[in-house]
Structure 1
């Protein structure tokens, strides 16, 4: 008889939580089996099983080395990652005796799930319960990327405790700059007015001052003949919130990185506003920082997202329709007119007709590239994989024709984007890298480098990825990818700030909340992690399913509070 010894007691896996890295899962299993004289197990064997509800891998028996008082084993593994592994568990199994055993004598789970955080990077994939991501870059006439939105922030400053707008030079200049921006970008997608308050006593003890400031700025826009649709205007306030202070702190060149980290340690610790305020006052030099930064918080911010609105006049529109309805390969409109018509058409079906006709009329990169983008975006709208693959194939043919006419960064970017969606990330990265070399256009690079940065995350180059996002963004996905790069680089301060910016840019975009939950979990802030996770899982079914198996939350998954936040969703699904 073999004594009741736990022969798997010191069997362990390194790293303790399995991780996805560069298309694979790498780990090492080590341990010992004690030799206890005559009571030692005969013919001991150690096997590994990697199993989920969908699939499994049975490994060969581990090689045992017999020592004086024990058998030891140490073996490394590299597995090509497959999606089923994300929710799988790695189990060590102990066998002994001369006869083959169907069931092991002992089992031990070494790891549950695989951390696949890099795969959260937003690269244009479509998920059924989420908004369709915009992919592909059109070539516009005159202004590159004219169909892409532009965002800008304007600040109106106030005296301490006041909601009356002074006619200061800076305020007048802010309104003048806003008018100029809207003249150049007349199609307003969103306008947010946020009244904010300094922590100073003179700023009051409620959010009323901040909202009064926001309302005053809204009235000022009307008085300044700045008219924006109510449906795209949002008037709100922020109070007892250190978000704006952190933005100013990050840009403050007077403070060293080490000093900033002292502030971030307080601002990101999950405590309530008042507790954080008291902790900040204890940091040496805080009075000077407050003197420098607090006046800038007596303000209201105007955040505008807008784009140019090109189009044809009535006579040109008639000529366009005539050309589209005839088989003749002549047109009274020049290529610029056609290109503008394509840009101005909101429906993909209309763009398709225009760009298709342009390929008959003009030998140019523009129609072939832009028609390819239409195909790419139509592919985004279908869940049928055969139809999607055919549309990508058509787009690639058009991009090949465009590349024969001229070498163009937009064409290369679009070829790279299709490769990304096809899962050919390494080939895609080469295309996107070549595209970045061809132009210094900042709007193009902002878009191209954000996708390239997402691929850096998936490729495991996290530090490099953080450098890719050194551009002004307005989309929640870009802030999220930026936060992901910092998180994987273990720079949790910048990760948290970027995830918060993602949340601010899109409150219904659950990934920003998920990022904040990951930061909190890694920092040991259980309550904060649960709070953010609760918001995240109700925004997306994909996030809901991922949170259930993500090893990042292993330490809080066994708590009643963790499952409590999932129960409302479970009840809805059961109905």
Structure 2
């Protein structure tokens, strides 16, 4: 019995002690206790920039005592750089529902990020705890603690192209040319999709054109896996019926319309053409072509293709592009000399001349006759307004992109890029081809809109196209995936990007960021086969040497890098990759000899 009462007394005493500690003097006590007992972990170390952001994982564990609704404990996370500049990143709140238990301790694990800027390269990641009195709102702040310093820019060192060119002009003074509109269908469907931006809207414009004669050809197609063998013919017939119905309803000039249809019957040949133009490795192309050349039923060939290494590529990128129909439209138009076209186009843009005096192709062509971007923009804007055709939207987007690349004011640059993306998107709705969507992806990539850029790269690849174009798309897509931290995906994309300097450099970077130093070394050496004495390749071989503790590789390649490009001396001195070697004799010798 005495033991029972002694236990009660001890428990009561313990409660009284805790109550006392959590009384008026509890805030200073708790904040010191938190600083002493909390554990903070950050990955990666050092922090690393990726694209236009610095993303990191932070995990904080605290004792159970700090989970208290009357005296809540919070940990502020911020970044300090420059002259007293502070950027708040987030707050970890140790209340029930906000944490999990790890090793029996309340633990919060979060992914946080903040915008990257070169001015932040030598900054510090800081934390500061605070305890609040829930009744009085009184707060006690703890000491500021540095948990990481500096930002590595190695993940930003991608090689990319992102070249966006004007489309070849369709206006030829010496001959008539055909314009092609493509329409894509859902799998096993032949009904036209009248969504916003569909080419049906452009097709409607041809119905209204004031010309004496139109010659149209409709070609239907389907993918090998589609069940209905007549699907290609149905798709062509659907477009024929649509156009002739619109002509009967809307045409008031009595133009003569000749419309013929046909569908692809040799699917194996059509598929073979697509495969030859794809970015598949030569070995996989040969495997697919061997199956198609062997003959047999399409069903049997389709089953055989499912067993190939290329099948996932076929499904994702080639088959969707075969579920289509295209319309070719020919016009007979009179031609005007360049000086007359240019003067008329300027007057049309100013609103002083009837816009019907020039055709859509003539108005687009006139914009190519001036080198001034402001004049080009004005003429393409007029073309967009008057014709609503995809080349006008596309070239206007290119103009905005070129203006953005020459702009030094960040806010203005971003506005111009947004305009470029908007107009390239409109062009993509109206003409969904690989080249158009690659240009859209490039503009989004330059703007820093990573998800939209990745979506556009993937869509461009699905459209198919010449091998030279697809390898460029895969190469820039891989550069974006590296910037997004998707190293395995980047490596997969680079397998279709051909053997180029860009491919080998980005493959080397991907392996470096995955800590595969032997693989990275091999790819950087292959890059040097494309560009002997290249400063960047030697520089990153030095980085590989630093990470793998190979001092000979570090010094030999760093010396060659700064010989080829002296500005890399400053880069190396500030680079966190060489932090362990800063101030050492071998590092100084590599930079100075």
TM bucket by the smaller chain? Answer: 0.3 to 0.5
| Structure showing greater Rg | 2
Greater relative CO (CA pairs within 8 A, separation 6+): 1
